[in-house]
Amino acid sequence: MTDHELKSLLEGMTLEEKVGQLVQCNAGNFISNSMGITGPDGEALPAEEMNRVLGSVLTFENAEQAKALQEKHLAADRNRIPLLLMMDVIHGLRTTYPIPLAMGCGFDDALTAECADMARREASACGVHVTFNPMVDTARDARWGRIMETYSEEPMINGRMGAAIVKITQGKNLADPENIACCVKHYAAYGAPEAGRDYNAVEMSERQLRESYLPAYKACVDAGARLIMPSFNALNGIPSVANQWLMNQVLRKEWGFDGVVISDYDAVGELVTQGVAADAKDAARLAMEAGCDIDMVKNIYYEHLAELVREGIVTEEALNAAVMRVLRLKNELGLFENPYHGASEEKEKAVYLCPAHRETARRAAEETAVLLKNEGVLPFRKDVKRIALIGPFAESRQLNGFWSRPGAEQYTVTLPEGIRNLLPEAELVTEKGCGADLGDMDRGGIEAAVRAAKEADAVILAIGEPEYDSGEGRSRSDVTLPGVQMELAERVIAANPNTAVLLFNGRPLAVPELSRIAPALLEMWYPGTEAGNACARLLWGDANPCGKLSVGLPYSVGQYPMPYNRTNTGRPKPGPDGQPVPFTSCYLDGPNLPLYSFGYGLSYTRFEYEKLETDRDSIGREDCLQVSVTLRNAGERRGKETVQLYLRDRVASVVRPIQQLIDYQKVELAPGERTTVRFRVTEKQLRFWNFACREVSEPGEFEISCGWADHLLLTRRFELK
């Protein structure tokens, strides 16, 4: 439809029909399905009456249901305005790839885009028009369960990967039936809740907000994202969904966002609970004044918005502007011409879990695993006769992580299946040993596990946290291994030193004692559908680990927050990180630095950083500094290395980080091969937000380094004139 036709459609709509376009309901109110919801139950609505004017739904199961929803609605709507069908497609639909936090450890924008492209094909066949993805909240506290859903503690990584997802998912033409619109979330600073508790308040200076939390959302907006979702939390006292500065000033005026804003699940209604709205009607007013276009469930808009317009409290002009944004999105998707978009039962069968998608998922799981420690144990020899597979994840299919689809585990390749696929002749013995649930103190299986370890040539210990102990609403005050898993690890490793530990988890875990005793430690996160095959190939060397930590792993929860790009105090702790130093910024009972730092990760080969060079000693504001890093594979295996480029502003008007990642590239080298990795550093990368909340760069001396946080290998200085 033309814009003129959309305006004519809008002019012919009743007030109730306009309001209906701004209402989203669970699909289960109109059709029977088994999809779960991520908020409180109790949505009360006259389903058939609402179906007549409804604008969008979420949580449906397949193409058949998508078509049924659309058919039922179009038959009831006199204007025949199609529904928007939305879904959380976070790390795959049927073919599940690693959780976003793991994908961040890949340091590979192209791989992230490839996985998102796979998800796009499956989701569009299912009938999805909008995915609530990417989530690019900067998160630096492992207590917060939704850290698994973001990519990194570094906003630049979140922004690059988020933008890559937006571009590949939306494509060049949203009307293409295989393309779907992206809703970026959760705007803003949702990943910094007080005490790490989900939904909790955030108090933060505007300077810190603009420097560390807003950039990733803006990167996705600049990439063309068509929707954005305000966060649940109150930001500096104002819940995001009612925050006019955040949404009207920054999002729409400063960034020029012209797309649709949709609340999170019942976030409008929760304004009453948060104490900024007197009642539901007042909540509807506040959200509309802040520019929230769609109310996700609980029907606050449906019940009160028309009345607010009739009373003149909300202008019809504001209502029309919101409705037009929704209509334009539907038009961009081509729904007026093809309301079913890409929904196809035949295509579902063709693309769901197809060999190409499984191969992509397996490769992603291999390249996002992080080898934390290896004392010559890995890779295992392929001629091992007897393998002991021990731990609560030894035979589990629950290796996908939060936000995987209901029933996803039935398609997951288990560890025994993956090992047998690779080594069909080897004898494999499995013992659970103990459980992984919080509070599970049953030690009854440990003795059998120890016996199996003693009799084996190689031992795999699969431990971690249950997949639904991280995710939305899954905050933890203690981020150590749950239950008696540490006791199991101690006994098994003592019984057989040829043991490799696999960690399955959705958040950084504090495992200092495990790290001390484990001969080999491989962080797998939640690897997804191809978990077992990926693990086997990594353990036996068919795949070489190349992941780098996109978030540091703590010694203890007491270190949080512990951003890698920390600043110095006037009394920084000098020397090695160990014993406390009086009257310096340090802990009396532990180190300052993480157990494993941001950017860290080992390989089965060895890379040497031979030289760091710049093409000049100073640059002007219009110049570009050419940086080259010479890297050599000094080991005996082909491998991939992520070359990380860090910046330090030596003197500035505000305290600046001692290290700030500004770029990265992943390269693959054969044994003995040498390459030069080149970067361009511009004045824009030297900017920061000053005390007056202006983005500036200041003349002076800078350092450029490569390595990883807390271990910078090579450094050179240059000057900005």
First to last CA, the chain: 53
Taking Cα atoms as reference points, which of 307, 411, 401 lies closest to residue 357? 411
| Three-state SS at 202 | strand
Question: What does the block give as tokens for 59?
Answer: 């949580």
In 432-524, beta strands by DSSP E: 458-464, 499-504, 520-523
- H helix or E strand, kind and range, residue 429: strand 427-431
Phi, psi values for residue 423, rounded to 5°: -130, 75
Are 91 and 120 in contact, with CB atoms under 8 Å apart? no
| 654, amino acid identity | V
DSSP one-letter code for 89? -
HSE toward the beta carbon, residue 394, CA cutoff 13 A: 22
Is 109 designated active site? no
Strand partners, 450: none
DSSP string, 232-257: SSEETTEEGGG-HIIIIIIIIIIS--
Q: Name every residue whose Cβ is closer than 8 Å to that of residue 182 and which is 6 or more positions away in sequence.
A: 130, 131, 133, 134, 165, 166, 169, 170, 220, 225, 226, 227
Task: Write b or e for each residue in 166-201: b if 16 or more Cβ atoms lie within 10 A of its Cβ, otherwise e.
Answer: bbbbbeeebeebbbbbbbbbbbbbbbbbeebbbbbb
Residues 513/521, Cβ–Cβ less than 8 Å: no
- Residue in 108, 137, 264, 282 annotated catalytic: 264
* Axis-axis angle for helices 109-126, 63-76 (nearest 10): 60
Rounded distance, CA 29 to CA 429, Å? 48
| Residue 104, both tokens | 């961040």
Q: How far apart are CA 211 and CA 214, in angstroms?
A: 7
Catalytic positions: 264
